[in-house]
Amino acid sequence: MHEVSVMTKVWLRWLPAVAVPAAIAAGALVGPFQASAAATLPIKTPEQLLAMVGANTVKSLSGTLEQTSELGLPQLPTTGPSSNAGVASALDLLTGPHTARVYLAGPTDARVQVMDQLAERDVVRHGTDVWLYSSKDNSATHETLPAAGTDGRTAPSTPELQTPDQLAQRMLAAIDPGTEVTVGQDTVVAGRSAYDLVLSPRSSDTLVGSVSIAVDSLTGLPLSVEVQARGQDKPAFRLAFTDLILQAPSADLFTFTPPPGANVTQRSLPQGDRLPPGQPGTPGEQSGSAAPQHTVSGTGWDTVIGLPAAAVPAGLTASPLLAQAARTVDGGRLVSTALVNVLLTNDGRIFAGSVPLELLQAAAAAR
Amino acid sequence: MLPSDSRVPSDSRVPDEVPSDVPQESTSDPPGDLSFDPLVRHSRTAPGWELLASELTVLFRRRRTWAMLLALAAVPVLIAVAVRLSSPVAPGRGPAFLDRITQNGLFVGVTGLVVSIPLFLPLTIGVIAGDTIAGEAGLGTLRYLLVAPAGRVRLLLVKYAGAAVFCVAATVAVAVAGVVIGVLLFPVGPVTLLSGDTIGVGQSVLRLLLVAAYVTVSLLGLSAVGLFISTLTEVPVGAMAATIVLSVVSEVLDALPQLVWLHPWLFSHYWLGFADLLRQPVAWGSFADNAWLQAGYVAVFGALAYGRFATKDVLS
């Protein structure tokens, strides 16, 4: 009898040590399900949703964005508190997750803060003034936009991060007959109920499985863009708000004066717009940044861009990083990611597209 | 015997003739057993405060504690002197914020914390937290601390509170030493935040205090881990080493991209997240995430330490 009560007491004293982890585990398992508990929204057709996105008038917001990529590129470990620079950071943009805060107030005031570990990159636009600031090397760059550029609804984007709105608009602009537009299950993004607009290629010759855009049910603002690759469970690319307030942030966020001691450079823009940034998973985008002599074969999702040997930067093919990422295939070397394949032929040409290797080889053979 | 009595002679706590072993029934002893002792009743009306006071007295009377605090304070001093004597640091080289020191002495405190948090702070916390219970067991004083009823839970809480106070002291030592040496060697003025905005001196001192609070909170989880390990052994050095090794293991795991699913659960994951307090506006997300994570560690390892300590046969 006494023995039994002692044993019970022993067990009772171990009870918290079992109960606390169990409670935490239960919370960790249940939490995400509650957060994504599907909303039931009035049914809309894809056309209605497209019109809703086109008509959205949200110009003021503060939010937090998260971008993740699962492209199958090798990841570099980030060791130590000091951040990497150069090639490693360029690769980091395509591999690691990124968090950014976005502030918009009207069409001409915007601020994007890419939050790195112990560092930050800022793009601040106030009227026609654009400041780029990097805390890593304490450098600031000033650009003046031509007055004509002020009418656009677009916020300035850092080369690696756009808002889901900007990205979605570009993807929707590229819709062609080869794209099937459907409405998926209603979701919740950043605590807001949203419609799921799904673009899927009719062709089976592309690496892209589907693109889904979460459209805010109240305002029509795209809240997230997710690109699925064929043969991969996790989204190959995802850009989503994790936090969103549809109010104009405080005005002093948009007035930027370079800090004392900063390295300030003035840059003028010849055409009033920078080259479109290379965003992974944007179909048909490669054409924008390619040299004028490039060739295009295929249409829509199957587009293959070819670069003649003369247009390829000299040092590119010799880069050790490329040698590491590429593997030898029939007719050249292949850099393969979940969404884009790049074929470097033995005679120095480059073919790229969201297509399987065979199509790139065919394009290379056809000239 | 009142626990605090036995602890006044600090390190040289000499065991005298008191009831020896206190087995696991100690908390359930009928109060009548000891109620004749007025001292015990007194200590129950002020639960643990005297014990805490004596614990802190013992902790901060130890030369070891002061040696560790001085070593921590030496980190920012060394950085500041080295930067002062050498040529200007190129931006982007060395630890974060190092290049800002020459423009503003207040950054020495932040740089000191950046440099200290991966190793020096966990090292000292490991020593203190690993020593909590095992140290008393090793000295043979543990059983005398447990003569009071309900003594074990209270002793655990007091020991943990002592370790937490040391976390505050360690962080403050680095920050204050950094600010003092920075003010002495470098100009002080408006501080440039990571976002490129500048704030005044008063604001920046406030931010530095926030950073110190963040770092202190970051170390609470490790202290709880150390407390638990300390209940497992009677060899304090073993508990200290195990705690320090665990902190290093956690940081190594945090650097492996293959384990990205595990990262949010590692107690060291948000250690460098205090940079979010140096943005404009302040990003509170990582402060909250860190606080929740550390609270989870305190709850889990506190419960484990309770389970182990309350059922343990204390023989020394």
Q: What is the least distance, in Å, from the CA of B19 to any CA of chain A?
A: 21
- Average pLDDT on B126-137 reads 93
Tell me, what DSSP letter sits at residue B89?
P
Answer yes or no: is B181 within a domain: yes
Query: Which class for B8: exposed (0-12), middle (13-18), buried (19 or more C-beta within 10 A)?
Result: exposed
Question: Cβ contacts (< 8 Å) between B189 and chain A: which residues?
Answer: 260
| Residue B1 domain flag | no
**Cα distance from A341 to chain B (closest Cα, Å)?**
23
Q: Give the separation between CA A196 and CA B40, rounded to whole angstroms.
A: 67
> Would you call A33 exposed, middle or buried from its count of C-beta atoms within 10 A (0-12, 13-18, 19+)?
exposed
* Token output for B285: 């997300």
pLDDT of residue A147: 64
Residue at token pair 């690759």: A229
pLDDT at residue A320 tops 80: no
**pLDDT (0 to 100) of residue B150:** 54
CB interface of A with B, residues 226-245, below 8 Å: 243
Residue B111 domain-assigned?
A: yes
Of B28, B195, B285, the CB nearest to A120: B195
Does the beta-carbon distance from A133 to B196 stay under 8 Å? yes
Q: Which of B50-64, B91-105, B132-146, B227-241 has the lowest mean pLDDT?
A: B91-105
pLDDT of the residue at A272: 41
Q: Please check the confidence at residue A150 and state whether its pLDDT lies above 90.
A: no
How far apart (Å, rounded) are the C-alpha atoms in residues A270 and B32?
91
Query: B220: buried, middle or exposed (CB in 10 Å: 19+, 13-18, 0-12)?
Result: buried
Chain position carrying tokens 């202290």: B223
DSSP 8-state secondary structure symbol assigned to residue B275: G
Quick check: is B7 in a domain? no
* Tokens, residue B274: 């205090």
- Residues of A within 8 A of B285 (CB-CB) are 64, 243
With a threshold of 0.90, tell me whether the complex ipTM lies above it.
Answer: no
The total domain count for chain B is 1
Q: Determine, yes or no, domain membership for B315.
A: no
Contact A78 B255 (CB under 8 A): yes
CB contact under 8 Å between B91 and A136, yes or no, is yes
Token pair, residue A229, equals 């690759």
Q: In the predicted model, what is the mean pLDDT of residues B166-181?
A: 96
The string over B225-259, giving b where at least 16 C-beta atoms fall within 10 Å of a residue's C-beta and e elsewhere, is bbbbbbbbbbebebbbebbbebbeebbebbeeeee
Backbone phi and psi for residue A2, each to the nearest 5 degrees, phi listed first: -65, -45
- Chain A hits for B94, CB-CB cut-off 8 Å, are 82
Please, are residues A104 and A60 in contact by the beta-carbon 8 Å criterion? yes
What is the per-residue pLDDT across A242-264, written as a single tens digit (0 to 9) for each? 999 998 898 888 999 888 888 89
Higher pLDDT, A277 or B115: B115
C-alpha span between B6 and B229 (Å, rounded): 25
Check if B256 contacts A (Cβ < 8 Å).
yes
* Whether B38 contacts chain A with CB within 8 A: no
Which region among A150-154, A181-185, B246-250 has the lowest average model confidence (pLDDT)? A150-154
User: In chain A, where are the structural domains located?
Assistant: 46-76+91-267, 286-366
- Contact check, Cβ <8 Å, B103/A261: yes
Q: Give the confidence band of B113 by pLDDT, cuts at 50, 70, 90.
A: very high
Look at residue A350 in the predicted model and tell me its pLDDT.
Answer: 86
The residue written with tokens 């989880």 in the block is B221
Peptide bond into B281 cis (omega under 30): yes
Domain range for B222: 46-310
| B99 lies in some domain | yes
Most confident of the following: A67-76, A145-154, B36-45, B242-251: B242-251
Within this chain, domains A46-76+91-267 and A286-366 share the same CATH topology: no
Query: How is residue A69 annotated by DSSP?
Result: E
Task: Answer yes or no: do A119 and B303 touch at CB < 8 A.
Answer: no
Cα separation, A10 vs B306, whole angstroms: 11
Give the percent of chain B with pLDDT over 90: 55
pLDDT of residue B167: 97
d(CA A239, CA A230): 18
* Nearest CA-CA distance, residue A20 and chain B, Å: 6
Q: Find how far residue B74's CA is from the centre of its chain.
A: 18
Of the candidates B86, B2, B98, the residue with the CA atom closest to the CA atom of residue B41? B2
Q: Looking at residues A132-161, what average pLDDT do you find?
A: 68
- Is the residue at B97 inside a domain? yes
Residues 6+ apart with CB under 8 A from B236: B130, B131, B134, B135, B137, B138, B230
**pLDDT level of residue A231 (50, 70, 90 thresholds):** confident
Q: In whole angstroms, give the CA distance from residue B87 to residue B92.
A: 15
| Residue B213: CB atoms within 10 Å | 16
B195 contacts A135? CB cut-off 8 A: yes
**Is residue B316 one of the residues assigned to a domain?**
no
The percentage of residues in chain A with a pLDDT greater than 70, rounded to a whole number, is 77
CATH 3.30.310 fits domain A286-366:
yes
Q: Which of A135-139, B3-7, B97-101 has the highest mean pLDDT?
A: A135-139
User: How far A73 CA sits from the closest chain B CA (Å)?
Assistant: 12
pLDDT band at A98 (very low <50, low <70, confident <90, very high): confident
Q: Tell me, what DSSP letter sits at residue A145? A: -
The CATH fold assigned to A46-76+91-267 is outer membrane lipoprotein receptor (LolB), chain A (2.50.20)
The pair of structure tokens assigned to B82 is: 């080295």
Following DSSP, what letter does each residue of B4-33 receive, concatenated?
Answer: HHHHTTGGG----S----B-GGGGGS-GGG
